[in-house]
Amino acid sequence: MTLLSEADILEALRHVQEPELGRDVVTLNMIKDIEIDGPRVAFTIELTTPACPLKDEIEREAGAAVRRLGAEDVAITWRAMVRRAAPARPEELVPGVKNVIAIASGKGGVGKSTVAVNLAVALAQAGASVGLLDADITGPNVPLMLGVDGQPSATPDGKIAPLERHGVKVISIQFFVAEGQPIVWRGPLVGGAIQQFLRDVDWGELDYLIVDQPPGTSDAQLTLAQAIPISGTLLVTTPQDVALLDVEKALAMLKRMSVPVIGVVENMSAFVCPHCGEATEIFGRGGGQRFAERHGIEYLGGIPLDVTVRQGGDVGIPAVAQREPGPAARALESLAKTVAARMSVRAAGAQQPVLTIS
């Protein structure tokens, strides 16, 4: 066998592409800690997100490339370093947060909070550091869905320590009011509470901060867009026309404010019978995909109706955290990987960035 060198290894790996970013893993500085011991080669691949959906493909191609040099044993170690997808501002309220992902919809009842909670938990399960901000001040549902209650404590420097559940740091106005007490606030108070949650909560270092926005287009959305650089917004709709009509207004608001859009996901796309497997499209068919095509944004798939989502949400066990995940959980896990990949593309400045509507 010809003696291998680090230069040989790097040259071979230049032919391995990171499919989402469209460049090779060496140019992207993803290859670390190369070790050569005779016919054995070991190295680390540093992903741009722990939720990389194409990790297996990269592993196959990298191993094959090095074996073609004559290596008999190739050991690949993985780690991830999430990059910031939006430029930092000098007055940044949450400087330790690399990516802020807003979950939005035009109307209530489409499953926006369900998507936000499961997206956050799925990213945390993949190994990312994740926070979840419940920005629906007058209708907070996140604590129930995550199964977390109590009152946050103060840190030594006077900040608010978020609670944690399923590996996700979470803050909600629900932690500060009595159960069942309505929050009857005008817009400026709502905006002020959101700013305080951004400024005064000790989020620490986060790869992703998921923000569950209230439905509609009002003070909460304006406050977030003006206060922090949003890395991307995920729109949630159902297939029916009334939901699509309202999410179109949400998209128009994002366009006006030049907020990046990741894409649209269609919740409740069909009911899959747990006994026979037949899919029934209760709320219509293909509305989310047609909406995406009409507006030139990415359609990120559908999430089927699944009774385990409702059951888990009622007892604080999100679908993706259940022992036997159903079809909706699998769709939500796939969505999390896609969203993370789109953030990586934008952070790397690749040729196909997350769409920014202008």
Q: Which structural domains are found in the chain, ordered by start?
A: 6-80 (3.30.300.130), 97-356 (3.40.50.300)
For residue 275, give the DSSP letter: T
**Which candidate, 235, 339, 357, places its Cα nearest to that of 20?**
339
Using alpha carbons only, how large is the chain's radius of gyration in Å?
A: 22
Cα distance between residue 30 and residue 18, in whole Å: 9
What are the backbone dihedrals phi and psi of residue 356, each rounded to the nearest 5 degrees, phi first?
A: -110, 120
pTM to 2 decimals? 0.89
Residue type, 239: P
**Which candidate, 325, 244, 324, places its Cα nearest to that of 289?**
244
DSSP 287-338: HHHHHHHHHT--EEEEEEE-HHHHHHHHHT--GGGSSS--HHHHHHHHHHHH
Beta bridge partners of 100: 209
13 contacts 62 by C-beta, under 8 angstroms: yes
Residue type, 167: G
Per-residue 3-state assignment (H helix, E strand, C coil) for 71-104: CCEEEEEEEECCCCCCCCCCCCCCCCEEEEEEEE
3-state SS, residue 49: coil
For residue 263, give the DSSP letter: E
Cα distance between residue 133 and residue 230, in whole Å: 13
336 contacts 126 by C-beta, under 8 angstroms: yes
Cα distance between residue 1 and residue 69, in whole Å: 9
DSSP 183-212: ----HHHHHHHHHHHHHSB---SEEEEEEE
pLDDT at position 181 is 87
Instruction: Output the CA angle 98-129-263, nearest 5 degrees.
Output: 60
**Which candidate, 32, 92, 88, 38, places its Cα nearest to that of 62?**
32
Cα distance between residue 25 and residue 15, in whole Å: 8
pLDDT at position 91 is 60
Residue 132, both tokens: 């979840």
168 contacts 120 by C-beta, under 8 angstroms: yes
3-state SS, residue 346: helix
- Burial class from Cβ neighbours inside 10 Å (0-12, 13-18, 19+) for residue 17 reads middle
Whole-angstrom CA distances from 87 to 195, 208, 210, 229 are 19, 14, 17, 7
Q: Give the DSSP H/E element, type plus range, for residue 59.
A: helix 55-67
- pLDDT tens for the chain, residues 1 to 358: 568 899 999 999 999 999 888 899 999 999 999 999 989 999 999 999 999 988 999 999 999 999 999 999 999 999 999 988 877 665 667 888 999 999 999 888 899 999 999 999 999 999 999 999 999 998 899 999 999 999 999 999 999 999 999 999 999 999 999 888 888 888 889 889 999 999 999 999 999 999 999 888 877 888 888 888 899 999 999 988 888 889 999 999 999 988 999 999 999 888 877 777 777 787 777 888 999 999 999 999 999 988 889 899 999 999 999 988 888 999 999 999 999 999 998 887 633 444 444 3
